Structure 1
Amino acid sequence: MSAHLIAIVTLLVIFALGTLRPVNLGALALVATFVVGKAIAGEDTRTILSGFPPDLFVLLFGVTYLFGIASVNGTIEWLVNSLARLVGDRATMIPWVMFFVAAIPTTAGALGPAAVAMLAPIALPLAKKYDINLRLMGLMVMHGSCAGNFSPVSALAVIVNGTVQRNGLPTFPLALFAANFGYNIVLGVAIYLAFGGLELRSRKQGRTSVTVAVPKEEIVVGSSTRSGQRSKSIGEVSTTTPAEVQSQPSTGVSIVRVVTLTGLIAVAIGALVFGFDLGMLSIACAVSLHLLFPSTSKGALSKVSWSTVVLICGIVTYMTLLQRTGTITIVGNSVAGLHSPVFGALLICATAALTSAFASSAGILGALIPLSVPLLRTGEVGVAGFIIALAISTTVVDSTPFSNVGAVVLGNCPETDYEGLYNGMILWGFIMVLTAPVATWLLFVLTT
């Protein structure tokens, strides 16, 4: 067996083990990097570790740390409840309000699971109070979060654009963001029509107060368990929510929340307008808030998604090894050598959708973009259209109950509605796996 084939088989084994067993994909990838680098490529430790991405580490740590503080001090809850009060008893607007509210954190730079974890405990009880189909509300929150996934300051966009740029290809950050946002809005319309959104017009709801169940998050990797807790596995990261949690009443404006919101806006402006590093800005803002308000920032560091940090950094480190050894070039040339590179693009998008339904979207993107570079260099497939199609195909399938955001939503579902929501998410997720690659290929690849 050739060295390149061993490296590719090892990558497949990493994803298989991370899906079937409770082990972080990134940790597996780091071990594989060391083993393959030493035994197959003959590299020393310094060379092996040279592929570790410090920029992504700082970014992921900083963003999750900052939003951890915004979560524990109640800023996110305050924002969401304020918007919900503006809606009042207009039930028809609530799913769309939650859709766009869910897009705010990810557009500002938060990771999808973190954003959904903040909103799901609010959205599902709100749906129950207004007699809204939980599948409608859950899917609107998930796809709202997906809509903001590729904001220029988001972690996923940094991963995608950074990977594309490192491979010497042009980036189109605004086109990627706009196309993904628009595609998820279209999906939101379909969800609204399919799960009873129009029926809400005939209901007259009284205005009710909303109490928020705040879940205690636990990062779990691998197979699902069920022992007093509801959990769904995702292969690398999932959130487990206790079946019973204490409700905390919503509170109003406070100096802590105003300062936190100001900090979030300042970070977004600094990154978007002035081009400062998002990760370092987030860390600086988070540390400042922690110093100013230590009592309301307790537990923020526990909100840092270390599992996601390890996942992304591990996968990128292994993929960098494959780049150094020429494996990616060989595999990419094989795909590019297909009779039709355009058909090869569809094949890659379909592979991404199917795999990402059970594994990390970020990990899949980090793995498949480098593999696609030779295909893109043929000139027969547009870079912008393909990257958009691949990014959307990889992330819209996160609405399955096996993804990280899907597991968060399902974990906050009342026991009596659990089976219905689970089945609805399975059906919708399966539809996404089948339709997203074809639709995005037709819309973005064939037209560019």
Structure 2
Amino acid sequence: MSIQLISIAVLVGVFVLATFLNVHMGALAFVATFVVGLGLADYSEKEILADFPAGLFVILVGVTFLFAIAKVNGTIDWLVDAAVSLVRGRVWAFPWIMFLIAACLAGIGAVPPAAVAIIAPTAMRIAQRYQISPLLMGLMVANGVSAGEFSPIGLFGIIVNDIAIENGVQSSPLLLFVSCFVVNAVLCYVLYAVITHRAQRRNTSDDGDIATAAGGLSSARMPEPGGGGGAQMVAERAAVGVAARPVMTPRIAATLTGLAAMVGIVLFSDLDIGFVAMTLATVLSVLSPADAKDALPKIAWPSVFLIVGIVTYVNLLQELGTVTYVSDAVAHLRSPLLIALLICVIGAVVSAFASTTGILGALVPLAVPFLLAGEVNAVAMLIALSLASSIVDASPFSTTGALIVANSAEEDRDKVMAQLLRWGMAMIVVAPLMAWAVFVVPGW
């Protein structure tokens, strides 16, 4: 058996052991990395540790530390109350506002981790306060980013369009953006509609289960926009939940300035969001050491451990050529439609556990010979691959999903992790099939 097949089998084994023996998956992934890297690939310790996602680690720690300080000193509460005043108690509007803000940030060039890092803390705090499903709110943020990132100046849009142009493949930046935005918006509408419908039937606030809609939806209570019962629920929840806005203290003012600075720096420079957040958190720590001391335990260390462990192993798989091995095997098939489907599936599977930016940068070039053959519409195939690779971004093993989990309320964090894991696994199947069936099969 080749080392590529063995490495895939080991990855499956990590999930099985973590599920049935309740062993921390991050620890298992690190052990798997050293066993496969040292024992089978004959890598040195230095080469193995080179696969450690230091950038992701800094992003997760830096961003969660910064927003932990903001939560401790009352800044997050201040922002939440400001958002409440804008929607005038219409709780149903919160998820859609977060979707649009995330899409706008991503569409004007913010990288996905930056856009999620900016939006997720406030979004998840609002979800906690108003009993909105944290799964729904997190997916609204994640899908909003995916909807905007394929704009002509969005990171994903630039990657896909530039690679296509450089290799002589037909592309349509505007059609790519519009298609991805519409599909993500429709997906969010289905999520919202299913959760609302189930809430009306059950008449409960949140039973925490994941049921229909691709196997990944929370059945938390959500008010219906309009209608007697829904309107009454909004009024009751707003009356109970709206508190007096915290006083604008110097600490809150300094934190808001820091958050605004982070947004501006991320949008208009190439500086890493993790280092920017860590620097701002350190500055705030100097201004208020007591807040920083209270904030340190609130960094999502278990989630960080899990995410970087899995990503380290997936990076080893990429070094071993496992992704290329699978792609080459797919290329030898004779059916163009089947090849197109399998390329989308590979994009979804790898992206769910690693960088979407990386998989788009790797798979689009690998698909170029197939696209140039003209057996499928190149523009439609690029759209399908883009959707399949980005819709799964809410997986807790991707940066987007990890940030959503890390910013969830502490008492909800394990539940959100489990829900996003189920959602991610479901989307690995649903997203490529849907994208392939809608864009490739009809032969537009």
- In 2, the alpha carbon distance for the partners of 1:313 and 1:347 equals 27
Instruction: Specify which of 291, 300, 312 is matched with residue 296 of structure 1.
Output: 291
Report how far residue 333 of structure 1 moved.
0.7
Provide the residue aligned with 1:441 in structure 2. 436
Report how far residue 74 of structure 1 moved.
2.4
Deviates more, 1:188-197 or 1:59-68: 188-197
**AA partner of residue 6 (structure 2):** I
Deviates more, 1:295-304 or 1:73-82: 295-304
Report how far residue 13 of structure 1 moved.
1.4
Provide the residue aligned with 2:390 in structure 1. 392
Provide the residue aligned with 1:275 in structure 2. 270
Provide the residue aligned with 2:210 in structure 1. none
Provide the residue aligned with 2:115 in structure 1. 108
User: Does the 8 Å CA contact 2:26/2:307 hold for their aligned counterparts?
Assistant: yes
Deviates more, 1:188-197 or 1:306-315: 188-197
What are the Cα deviations for residues 374-405 of structure 1, in whole angstroms up to 9, with x where unaligned? 7524342668535522233314678xxxx986
The unaligned stretches of length 5 or more in structure 2 are 106-111, 198-222, 372-377
Report how far residue 300 of structure 1 moved.
2.0
- In 2, the alpha carbon distance for the partners of 1:122 and 1:254 equals 22
Provide the residue aligned with 1:316 in structure 2. 311
TM-score w.r.t. structure 1 length? 0.65
1:86 has 2:86 as partner: yes
1:118 has 2:125 as partner: yes
**AA partner of residue 46 (structure 2):** R
User: Does the 8 Å CA contact 2:353/2:395 hold for their aligned counterparts?
Assistant: no
Provide the residue aligned with 2:7 in structure 1. 7
Report how far residue 326 of structure 1 moved.
3.3
**AA partner of residue 119 (structure 1):** I
Report how far residue 183 of structure 1 moved.
3.5
**AA partner of residue 303 (structure 1):** K
Instruction: Specify which of 142, 151, 159 is matched with residue 146 of structure 1.
Output: 142
3-state DSSP of counterpart to 1:52: coil
- In 2, the alpha carbon distance for the partners of 1:279 and 1:270 equals 12
What are the Cα deviations for residues 255-275 of structure 1, in whole angstroms up to 9, with x where unaligned? 222221221121122122122
Instruction: Specify which of 367, 388, 398 is matched with residue 376 of structure 1.
Output: 367
Q: CA RMSD in A?
A: 5.0
What are the Cα deviations for residues 305-353 of structure 1, in whole angstroms up to 9, with x where unaligned? 3334333433333233333333332222112223345534434655777
What are the Cα deviations for residues 103-130 of structure 1, in whole angstroms up to 9, with x where unaligned? 7897634299756643321131xxxxxx
Report how far residue 412 of structure 1 moved.
5.7
In structure 2, do the counterparts of structure 1 residues 16 and 366 end up closer, same or farther at CA, with 3 Å as the change threshold?
farther
- In 2, the alpha carbon distance for the partners of 1:97 and 1:343 equals 39
1:76 has 2:67 as partner: no
Deviates more, 1:371-380 or 1:75-84: 371-380
**AA partner of residue 52 (structure 1):** F
1:307 has 2:302 as partner: yes
- In 2, the alpha carbon distance for the partners of 1:180 and 1:193 equals 20
What are the Cα deviations for residues 138-168 of structure 1, in whole angstroms up to 9, with x where unaligned? 564233222344577xxxx999999x99xxx
Which aligned pairs between 1:3-402 and structure 2 lie closer than 5 A? 3-90=3-90, 93=93, 96-97=96-97, 108-110=115-117, 117-124=124-131, 140-150=136-146, 182-194=182-194, 195=196, 200-202=226-228, 203=231, 206=235, 208-211=238-241, 251-340=246-335, 342-347=337-342, 349=344, 361-363=352-354, 372=363, 375-380=366-371, 384-395=382-393
The unaligned stretches of length 5 or more in structure 1 are 125-133, 213-247
Provide the residue aligned with 2:109 in structure 1. none
User: Does the 8 Å CA contact 2:99/2:144 hold for their aligned counterparts?
Assistant: no
**AA partner of residue 322 (structure 1):** L
- In 2, the alpha carbon distance for the partners of 1:50 and 1:61 equals 19
User: Does the 8 Å CA contact 2:356/2:393 hold for their aligned counterparts?
Assistant: no
What are the Cα deviations for residues 282-318 of structure 1, in whole angstroms up to 9, with x where unaligned? 1101111111122333432223233343334333332
**AA partner of residue 144 (structure 1):** M
- In 2, the alpha carbon distance for the partners of 1:106 and 1:179 equals 22
- In 2, the alpha carbon distance for the partners of 1:249 and 1:376 equals 56
In structure 2, do the counterparts of structure 1 residues 250 and 341 end up closer, same or farther at CA, with 3 Å as the change threshold?
farther
3-state DSSP of counterpart to 1:378: helix
Report how far residue 35 of structure 1 moved.
0.9
In structure 2, do the counterparts of structure 1 residues 333 and 412 end up closer, same or farther at CA, with 3 Å as the change threshold?
closer
**As a proportion of its length, which structure holds more helix?**
2
- In 1, the alpha carbon distance for the partners of 2:33 and 2:188 equals 40
**AA partner of residue 328 (structure 1):** V
- In 2, the alpha carbon distance for the partners of 1:288 and 1:278 equals 15
Report how far residue 15 of structure 1 moved.
2.8
In structure 2, do the counterparts of structure 1 residues 256 and 159 end up closer, same or farther at CA, with 3 Å as the change threshold?
farther
- In 1, the alpha carbon distance for the partners of 2:279 and 2:422 equals 43
In structure 2, do the counterparts of structure 1 residues 293 and 269 end up closer, same or farther at CA, with 3 Å as the change threshold?
same
Deviates more, 1:51-60 or 1:263-272: 51-60
Aligned residue pairs, count: 380
What are the Cα deviations for residues 77-106 of structure 1, in whole angstroms up to 9, with x where unaligned? 221221212322546645534655787897
User: Does the 8 Å CA contact 2:52/2:312 hold for their aligned counterparts?
Assistant: yes
- In 2, the alpha carbon distance for the partners of 1:345 and 1:96 equals 33
User: Does the 8 Å CA contact 1:335/1:375 hold for their aligned counterparts?
Assistant: no
**AA partner of residue 70 (structure 2):** A
Provide the residue aligned with 2:213 in structure 1. none
3-state DSSP of counterpart to 1:275: coil
3-state DSSP of counterpart to 2:127: helix
Report how far residue 211 of structure 1 moved.
4.1
User: Does the 8 Å CA contact 1:147/1:182 hold for their aligned counterparts?
Assistant: no
